[in-house]
Structure 1
């Protein structure tokens, strides 16, 4: 579904984002991983994605910020004010959940108006603001439709309009796209980023989908076991992962045995730059598939499989020592399974960890 970007109401365009600080947040579930001293700060209008595997604490962090989950330690500040002990209703935050959670007996406009009704906003203003919010998310003219008359993507747009209509200081998105099919998910992902940019609203976006996180966020916080493993721009996380966990979790990566001697890394018999200094000794290097090249004069390898992915082709090869590598290359190269090829590494800095 193609949606023309509507003009933004002047009263919303003039808004500025809030600052958010999570300081040493602890949530103890009595044996299960919660939060183990989470520190995170967002600047005005920043879009931060919380990314990580199931059970890493990302949704717990979002719910704690929203006031839907108590914390056992630490503090939460919004615009410098400590809101740790305040109920969700007093934090002035908007939240969109994975499930659309629309009231089936209310039409779209009434669903969007609901938060304004709870705030006792006059009816005429409620209707005006709900219509503007629906227009903002590309659903102008859909106000009279009920949930069962809308597609999944349209229902999630209504939920987004409902979160925005109260003009919250911070927008919280808890895996809002996971129930949608792939094409609609990409379209709505881009719409969310457009709306967030135009509103300038500070936003936290929880997802387990790394492509979503890298595509929309100003910064991505990779979480593990209740804490942040690394936070940085999408480019920083992808090209300069700070740990082996981040290197393996964000994007596809190859584990390649190597050796560091005198501060110089040797992989496949050739020197390769290090992303960060490393102690001498055997290491595991984390190499992206696009940094593995098919080269006639490279290290001998045998093609195992090859897959056409549209813009690129991904080929898996096995070296003579048994190491398997994924190679991402142009579609004009079409090696066949069983074919002998050569591979080499691009001179791109790589992250390493001591070999185990």
Structure 2
């Protein structure tokens, strides 16, 4: 196989703020794996919370480039095991694993959902994320993008008031993501008020390490709670089971589609709701997430929709929130 690496700096339509950071640009690494006239593409974004940069990921790949290019590629799962043995970070493994899956499907001439035996007649609607801002700005973002489901980022001193004001402007479903900014007491107190405002669920209200707090929340919160920062690796699914109603899997954090498929299966077996979320990827990463959509209860795949300009073609999210799956094999990705 031949490896292609490229860094992009993706400009966002609006400043994107969550409880711990704000940014106007997102750095991302695109990986291409070429074999037998086909090229598969994968992606992983930089992330200061997890101390990941594009340069660090590219540096990791360069240290094992020769091994990867001489690898006898057959199945993505075998390739993923090989990558894990090289001691690479999960973000780097994700980009390579996504590229391997896209390549594998293109070599077979089949989309991944077909290879996995899942149809595309039914899939959840992606939410559209509204980052933290002043209320008029948040309202303006909703008016600019009318959508059936909004994920509202919170973690301010007036979170419930924000939701109360936003509710005056739309009948859409609301999902709340506090990104670890609340305490157990705040979560339990906020939940009844947010439930009255037609909030569907809360995502990761507490710090990932606050298991005592999550025990209180699991016993007293009137809204379902979905794990995000508490559910990174495959082993975290079982740990989250007693405390959460569902899990939000991020491909970059767990290491790609290969472990994500196992996490989906494990979560369902435990009776958890299963969601896959994005990290403001381009359509390279989003198209990989889309292949999983028929297996999910919830999906957050609006990353490319938040960009001023996309760098790839793949899954298309229409204005009515329906999906147009690409006809190419794999994840169906082509770079612009």
TM over 0.5: no
Q: Over alpha carbons, which structure has the higher Rg?
A: 1
Q: Whose RCO is larger (CA < 8 A, sep 6+)?
A: 2
Which has more strand, going by share of residues?
A: 1
TM-score (norm 2): 0.28
TM-score (norm 1): 0.27
